[in-house]
Amino acid sequence: MEFHKRTIEDIDLRNKRVIIRVDFNVPLDDALQITDDTRIRSALPTINHAVDEGAKVILCSHLGRPKGKPDPRYSLAPVQKRLQRLLGKDVGFAPDCIGPAAEKLVAHMKPGDVLLLENLRFHVEEENNDEAFSRHLAALGDVYINDAFGAAHRAHASITGITKFIKESAAGYLLKKEIEYLEGAVADPMRPFVAILGGAKVSGKIEVIENLGKRVDKVIIGGGMAFTFIKAMGLEIGNSLCEDEMLDFARGIQQHAFSRGVKFYLPVDCVDAHSREPGAETQIVPVQEIPKGWYGMDIGPASVKLFSEAIQNAKTILWNGPMGVFEVDAYSRGTFAVAHGVANAYALTIGGGGDTAYAVHRAGESESMTFISTGGGASLELLEGKTLPGLDALPERA
């Protein structure tokens, strides 16, 4: 699949001030230590290219939800330290993303220097796509590169607004790669094409299920959303997660799949817990035998076997959403087993979104997947068949 937008390689960066919008929205623990730096590593090819070309590299990102005002818990300072280590060179840090302090630091930059601006969302104007804020941000640079796939579905100042006030704009390597893999997989997949969909809710994936349902050969449903489908079949699901308002939709999706000859897989057994408390009593039961009052927390071993066999002949596998509450060890086996199954398949394998990326990482299979998307909401919107505002705002390749 061909990428039609201008890319970083189409622009002469030498001696230019290059603003790169990256997605450094990384998870931090209570001690403000980074627990997973995948998103930082993913931006390195674009940053290194700009450095090698002799650009003055100005990086901007958001982190968390600081609600439009400075909050030390969401400072990008820990990211600056990690980035220095990964780049093997000094990275400057501006105490704000616009204003005199940032302008002064940019004015003193030399070709090859890297400067990280403080959290964009410390200003409420970022999420409001404020014109004056966009203009201030644009004034720091000569060229704008969007490499923040994880935020490309947001019409924010640093994603769309800035492009109106800067001379040249283009896509970075990560943005290009994400679009090519995700759009390419859906538009023209090698077949059989299998979609594995998990996570908590059917409602969050309605349009993905509908869009992919028209294109895939097999659909595998796991995670909390499976119980809505199981209840729609008239079975008892105890206290398992369920969206009653989605029961008709679930029935309709299954009927559509059958009428189009799409193979539709649901769990046949599950790991049940007596309560949601840690250390609660658990048991493995067929889905027809979930006791009243119990909670379905993970797919069971028979489902793992069924799903693993269903993906064995696949040529393209797209996986979005875990199979259970994998963050808790007792309920992680289903998700990790599926991760191993997908990684071992002789197929183009794509993991979409934050939870899936983290699950694959925890299962130790990150290196074995063809591609893992860094964007949660953005990858979902692409899979729904929508266009991303961040991509729309970039010029077409001449």
Same domain membership, residue 193 and residue 133: no
Q: What is the pLDDT of residues 189-239, one digit of tens each?
A: 999 999 999 998 888 888 888 888 888 999 999 999 999 999 999 999 999
Residues 23 and 130 in one domain: yes
Q: Say what the pLDDT of residue 25 is.
A: 95
Q: Is residue 222 assigned to a domain?
A: yes
Q: What is the pLDDT of residue 385?
A: 83
Q: Which of the pair, 246 or 385, is modelled with greater confidence?
A: 246
Question: pLDDT tens, 244-297?
Answer: 999 999 999 999 889 999 999 999 999 999 999 888 999 999 999 999 999 999
Q: Is 354 a catalytic residue?
A: yes
Is residue 3 in some structural domain? Answer: no
Is 2 within the bounds of a domain?
no
Domain boundary among 142, 158, 174: 174
pLDDT of residue 164: 98
Measured distance CA(351)–CA(92) in Å, rounded: 33
Q: Are residues 207 and 151 located together in one domain of the fold?
A: no
Helix, coil or strand: residue 148: coil
Decide if 397 is inside a domain: no
Last residue of a domain, one of 120, 155, 174: 174
230 falls within a domain: yes
Structural domain harbouring 256: 181-383
Query: Residue 263: phi, psi to the nearest 5?
Result: -75, 130
How many structural domains comprise the chain?
Answer: 2
- Are 149 and 23 part of one and the same domain? yes
Q: How confident is the model at residue 357, as a pLDDT?
A: 87
Task: Annotate 290-309 with b (16+ C-beta within 10 A) or e (fewer).
Answer: beeebbbbbbbeebbebbbe
Domain assignment present for residue 253? The answer is: yes
**Domain at 266, CATH number:** 3.40.50.1260
Rounded to an integer, what distance in angstroms lies between the CA atom of residue 347 and that of residue 333? 22
List the alpha helices (DSSP H) in 233-353. Answer: 247-259, 301-310, 333-344
137-174: burial string, b at 16+ Cβ within 10 Å, e else: bbbbbbbbbbbbbbbbbbbbbbbbbbbebbebbbbbbb
Q: pTM for the whole thing? A: 0.87
Which of the residues 112, 184, 204, 377 is marked catalytic? 377
How many other C-beta atoms lie within 10 A of the C-beta of residue 374?
24
- Could you give the residue ranges of the DSSP H alpha helices within 1-58? 38-52
Say what percent of the chain tops pLDDT 70: 99
**Residue owning tokens 């931090």:** 28
Note whether 122 and 26 are same-domain residues.
yes
Q: Same structural domain for residues 100 and 206? A: no
353, pLDDT greater than 80: no
Phi, psi (rounded to 5 degrees) for 310: -65, -30
Which of the four pLDDT bands, split at 50, 70 and 90, describes residue 187? confident
pLDDT at 396 over 70: yes
Catalytic residue among 201, 251, 263, 305: 201
Q: Whole-angstrom Cα distance, residue 396 to residue 394? A: 7
- Kindly state whether residue 396 falls inside one of the protein's structural domains: no
Let me know if residue 274 belongs to a domain.
Answer: yes
Q: What is the pLDDT of residue 332?
A: 96
Within 8 A by CB and 6+ apart from 113, the residues are: 56, 57, 92
Boundary (domain end) residue, out of 114, 144, 174 = 174
Same domain, residue pair 360 and 223: yes
**Residue 60 sits in the same domain as residue 117:** yes
Catalytic hit among 92, 172, 354, 376:
354
Mean pLDDT (whole number) for 136-143: 98
Catalytic residue (choose from 17, 39, 215, 218): 39
Q: Active-site residue 39, yes or no?
A: yes
Same-domain pairing of 211 and 170: no
Whether 299 and 371 share a structural domain: yes
pLDDT above 70 (res 318): yes
**Do 320 and 217 belong to one domain?**
yes
377 is an active site residue = yes
What's the distance, Cα to Cα, between the start and end of the chain in Å? 17
Mean per-residue pLDDT of the chain: 94
Residue 354 confidence (pLDDT) above 90: no
pLDDT value, residue 1? 64
186 with 46, same domain: the answer is no
Using CA atoms, how far residue 96 sits from 101, 115, 374, in Å, is 7, 11, 25
Which residues does residue 23 pair with via DSSP β-bridges, in sequence order? none
Where helices occur in 188-225 by DSSP H, the ranges are 206-213
**pLDDT grade for 29, boundaries at 50, 70 and 90:** very high
Mean pLDDT value of segment 288-316: 97
Mean pLDDT across the stretch 316-326? 95
Q: Are 216 and 191 in contact (CB under 8 A)?
A: no
394, with CB counted inside 10 A (0-12, 13-18, 19+), is buried
Confidence of residue 375 (pLDDT cuts 50, 70, 90): confident
Q: What is the pLDDT of residues 70-125, one digit of tens each?
A: 999 999 999 999 999 999 999 999 999 999 999 999 999 999 999 999 999 999 99
Other Cβ atoms less than 10 A from the Cβ of 278: the count is 9
